[in-house]
């Protein structure tokens, strides 16, 4: 078994709470991504699994074992660091075999060691670089050496701390695919920390979105994207981020459609869930669910002025001002042309409008 479980785990550095009552179940063989901005506590959570940070309170379990007080080397985990953390004075071969040599518990005889090192090197395409030092390799190759060092010990859990951050965009995409493929082949639990939502969306079985040391939402990538639990998740996941605008709910029941009165007009939405008419709320609309049309003052739409148009080749982002708020519309490139400074009406797909409580920021519909 190699499931990982946080049960009310807290980590404090002096008076600062880095991780606040974390409770998370990571299933055996799952690819779990901890996603959040810098300083949100995701790396601290990962380092607690590794045993590199002590736990202030709560219980952390790997498999059946409570590991709160078990030293890192006895946890049967492997970690890949953002900086790769390779031993610069050792050859690639020595780097890969180091967990088998250094750890008395994992020690294997020389023949088995050589076999495993060559197997790992072959898996990651490093066979021809075994005699080289890390300084003689490119960033991508170093990253693969770090991965080989991790897989050679056959751990119960792989931990990865922003392993792609130092790679250029093209190599990052390629390595992302390789990591997903590696996870499929090994079937081991992966816990992966990143601030990059694209990495999270493309690799994870499930994502745990973290902010201010707290888990904001846990779910499959598509669920988190389509049903963000609060305003933080809504604005953090998605690029360009979700548009938000303040308004007052008008009409509607749990099953009937409603509209929201904003400063720049009334926007038609779907059924508002449990929200009562007259409630102040924040509307969230993804750029692809917002549409700009030419005649102004269309019913169920808000008035806007086009501030800028960003051409991306396959699509374009129309950035509009709605009163004091900025909203982005994602359009295919072949949509009718629009001009900067033009007045337009913005209307949303009613079923794709998200409603949030402006005070608690929690989702309402």
Partner 1 sequence: MATDPTVSAANEQNRLNQNAEQIVDPLVPAPYDNDKAVQPPRSGLRNAVATTTTYLVLTALSVIVLFPIYMLLLRALSSPLKYISAGQPLYPVSIEWDVFNRAFGQASLGRSMGLSFVVTFVIVIAQVLTSVLAAYAFAFLEFPLKKLAFVLVIGTLLLPIEVTLIANVEIIRKLHLLNSVPGLTFPFLVTAIGIFLIRQGFLGIPRDLRDASELDGYGHLRFLFKVAMPMSKAIIGSFIVIAFLGAWNQYVWPRFATDRGAWQTVQVALRTIGSENPGELNLGFAAAIVASLPLLALLIFFQRQIVRGLTAGAVKG
Interface region with partner 1, contact rule CB under 8 A, candidates 129-137, 223-231, 280-288, 300-308: 129-137
Interface region with partner 1, contact rule CB under 8 A, candidates 10-18, 96-104, 199-207, 263-271: 96-104
Interface region with partner 1, contact rule CB under 8 A, candidates 24-32, 58-66, 131-139, 189-197: 131-139
The least CB distance from residue 124 to partner 1, in Å, is 16
Packing angle between helix 139-151 and helix 92-102, nearest 10 degrees?
Answer: 30
In the list 19, 77, 157, 355, the residue contacting partner 1 (rule: CB under 8 A) is 77
Residues binding partner 1: what is the number (CB under 8 A)? 37
When asked if residue 14 is in the footprint of partner 1 (CB under 8 A), the reply is: no
Residue 51 or 213: the one with the smaller Cβ distance to partner 1 is 51
Residue 25 or 82: the one with the smaller Cβ distance to partner 1 is 82
Tokens for 19, please give them. 């991780």
Sign of dihedral through CA atoms 331, 334, 338, 339?
A: positive
When asked if residue 82 is in the footprint of partner 1 (CB under 8 A), the reply is: yes
Tokens for 102, please give them. 């250094």
In the list 3, 59, 171, 246, the residue contacting partner 1 (rule: CB under 8 A) is 171
In the list 54, 136, 181, 226, the residue contacting partner 1 (rule: CB under 8 A) is 136
When asked if residue 298 is in the footprint of partner 1 (CB under 8 A), the reply is: no
C-alpha radius of gyration, the chain, whole number: 25
| Maximum separation of any 2 CA atoms in the chain, in Å | 78
Cβ neighbours of 6 (radius 10 Å) = 23
Residue 63 or 240: the one with the smaller Cβ distance to partner 1 is 63
Query: What is the Cα–Cα distance from 142 to 126, expressed in whole angstroms?
Result: 10
In the list 29, 63, 139, 240, the residue contacting partner 1 (rule: CB under 8 A) is 139
CB distance 274 to 254 below 8 Å:
yes
The least CB distance from residue 70 to partner 1, in Å, is 12
Query: What is the Cα–Cα distance from 290 to 243, expressed in whole angstroms?
Result: 9
In the list 140, 241, 273, 323, the residue contacting partner 1 (rule: CB under 8 A) is 140
The least CB distance from residue 47 to partner 1, in Å, is 8
When asked if residue 173 is in the footprint of partner 1 (CB under 8 A), the reply is: no
When asked if residue 104 is in the footprint of partner 1 (CB under 8 A), the reply is: yes
In the list 37, 54, 89, 122, the residue contacting partner 1 (rule: CB under 8 A) is 89
The least CB distance from residue 145 to partner 1, in Å, is 12
CA atoms within 13 A on the CB side of 87: 13
Give the distance, in angstroms, between the CA of residue 284 and the centroid of all CA atoms in the same chain.
Answer: 20
Q: What residues from 317 to 346 belong to the interface with partner 1 (CB under 8 A)?
A: none
In the list 168, 226, 297, 310, the residue contacting partner 1 (rule: CB under 8 A) is 168
Query: What is the Cα–Cα distance from 7 to 55, expressed in whole angstroms?
Result: 11
The least CB distance from residue 178 to partner 1, in Å, is 15
Give the per-residue contact string, 45-74, with partner 1 (x = CB under 8 A; - = no). --x--xxx------------------xxx-
The least CB distance from residue 73 to partner 1, in Å, is 4
When asked if residue 296 is in the footprint of partner 1 (CB under 8 A), the reply is: no
Residue 123 or 143: the one with the smaller Cβ distance to partner 1 is 143
Query: What is the Cα–Cα distance from 106 to 76, expressed in whole angstroms?
Result: 9
Give the distance, in angstroms, between the CA of residue 292 and the centroid of all CA atoms in the same chain.
Answer: 30
The residues that touch partner 1, with contacts defined as CB under 8 A, are 47, 50-52, 71-73, 77-79, 81-83, 85, 87-89, 98-99, 102-106, 133-141, 149, 168, 170-171
């Amino acid at each position: 078994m190699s499931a990982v479980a946080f049960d009310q785990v807290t980590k404090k550095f002096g008076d600062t709470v880095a991780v606040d009552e974390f409770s998370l179940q990571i299933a055996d063989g799952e690819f779990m991504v901890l996603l959040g901005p810098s300083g949100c506590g995701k790396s601290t959570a990962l380092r607690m699994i590794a045993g590199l940070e002590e736990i202030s309170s709560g219980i952390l379990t790997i498999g059946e074992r409570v590991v709160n007080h078990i030293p890192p080397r006895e946890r049967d985990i492997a970690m890949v660091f953002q900086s790769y953390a390779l031993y610069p004075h050792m050859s690639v071969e020595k780097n890969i075999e180091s967990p088998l040599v250094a750890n008395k518990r994992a020690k294997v005889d020389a023949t088995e060691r050589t076999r495993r090192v060559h197997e790992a090197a072959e898996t990651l395409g490093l066979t021809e670089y075994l005699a080289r030092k890390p300084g003689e390799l490119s960033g991508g190759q170093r990253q693969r050496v770090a991965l080989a060092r991790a897989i050679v010990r056959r751990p119960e859990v792989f931990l990865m701390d922003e392993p792609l951050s130092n790679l250029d965009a093209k190599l990052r995409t390629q390595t992302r695919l390789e990591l997903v493929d590696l996870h499929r082949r090994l079937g081991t639990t992966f816990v992966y920390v990143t601030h990059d939502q694209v990495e999270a969306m493309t690799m994870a079985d499930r994502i745990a979105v973290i902010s201010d040391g707290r888990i904001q939402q846990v779910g499959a990538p598509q669920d988190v994207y389509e049903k963000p639990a609060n305003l933080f998740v809504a604005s953090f996941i998605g690029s360009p981020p979700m548009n938000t605008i303040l308004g007052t709910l008008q009409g509607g029941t749990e099953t009937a459609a409603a509209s929201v009165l904003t400063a720049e007009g009334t926007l038609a939405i779907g059924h508002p869930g449990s929200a009562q008419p007259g409630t102040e709320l924040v509307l969230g609309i993804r750029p692809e669910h917002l549409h700009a049309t030419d005649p102004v003052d269309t019913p169920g739409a808000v008035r806007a002025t086009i501030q800028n148009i960003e051409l991306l080749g396959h699509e374009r982002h129309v950035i509009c001002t709605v009163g004091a708020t900025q909203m982005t519309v994602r359009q295919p490139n072949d949509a009718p042309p629009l001009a900067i400074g033009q007045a337009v009406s913005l209307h949303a797909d009613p079923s794709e409008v998200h409603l949030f409580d402006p005070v608690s920021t929690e989702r309402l519909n």
